[in-house]
Structure 1
């Protein structure tokens, strides 16, 4: 599929390479695009200069790459470059290569693209666990994918979660504990001196009998980070059987991707979005 980018920089003349690097495009992708770029419909190369109002076109040479699944998606935000949606519970983001090859959120997004007449790959910026609900960001073109992946890596793309945990939490907590794999259970992770650095900020929102609703900000993005960290301080997530959480109030992990904020790589404007607590978690307050 071809993608067009209108040049808005007028204080100097960047090269095509300069423009691509501003989106943190890697060398492999740059090499793949080498003979598939145009300025104002004329062939160009990486050293060609760009001027104000030029239109740079790239041909990514990739189309829809997975089977569409015609299930409605809950769209929170959409523009020419981004699609941000609410993930339901009990849903994988993408195929794991074995089971769940077609019944995934990516397949649902593929069907939406077909309905919109968009022939492009499904590109997700981050992931959520199978039972976790809430905000997921998809990029509609390769430059946005690269730029937002960089924002995610350097933590300028902020992600906050809401969770119900066991016990009462009254004060803010900063959890700075490294996380590694559990050698005895391949599905689990644990606090490990040899693990990767992981930081979670926990802020209490409300207390309900013997449980608390907390807002969690990730400063790193390790697998099962919130679940492992909260268990490590004696407050496992409700419904989290894998890490010892109580299943009396809810039958899934009580975790919701609530808030994201980031800089739109194209417009340079800040995007902030929230997603309301799903019904099954809202009901916990009264239990």
Structure 2
């Protein structure tokens, strides 16, 4: 089963993710909020274990090193602090601490980051069998991040609000600055090509465009905040519209019952 962007197997991964979200909603809809939180936290914890197992497999994968143009595997370049996989930790933290900015970031950014990684994979993860250890690990960890992020809303644990936007953007900016500081330290010491959160220029079409506008590390991501804000606005508007329709139906049903 070869995985390439937009082929049948690749689309099947997203169908699986959608089915998994619906399955979680179905089996947990009558459970308490505590139970729903616990399930997501456990899934994230299992995914963390899978993530490190997948990275260990990568460290033994000579083909991965050759295709990626890396002479030696460097664990400091594989830490779970990328835009997508950091959510394996943020989702449990947000649920336990009940912090809406963190949950909002995880809801909006985790699915988006994971989906982008799957739609635009690096060469070592493009055109290979799903059952290759590195492909299975890559697809599985990103799919679970996608599923958990969407499930925050599907399980009623987070409902987007326009008032959440400032906190989410501040969270994003703080994490990006933190990631850039990590990059600076790692580049000066043990990993000269560390690039968490892509704060340094990387050859990705949209990021190439941003770099042509602002050729400065970290700052070149500023246009991405505008895109993220537009995406958040669109998604929140859909939820707001759904809530309005639901309330109107409830009001109509109540009025009909009173007659």
Per the TM superposition, whether the score is higher than 0.5 is no
- More contact order relative to length (CA 8 Å, sep ≥ 6): 2
More helix by share: 2
Please report the TM-score for the alignment, with normalisation by the length of structure 2.
0.26
More strand by share: 1
Please report the TM-score for the alignment, with normalisation by the length of structure 1.
0.24
Q: Which structure would you say has the larger Rg?
A: 1
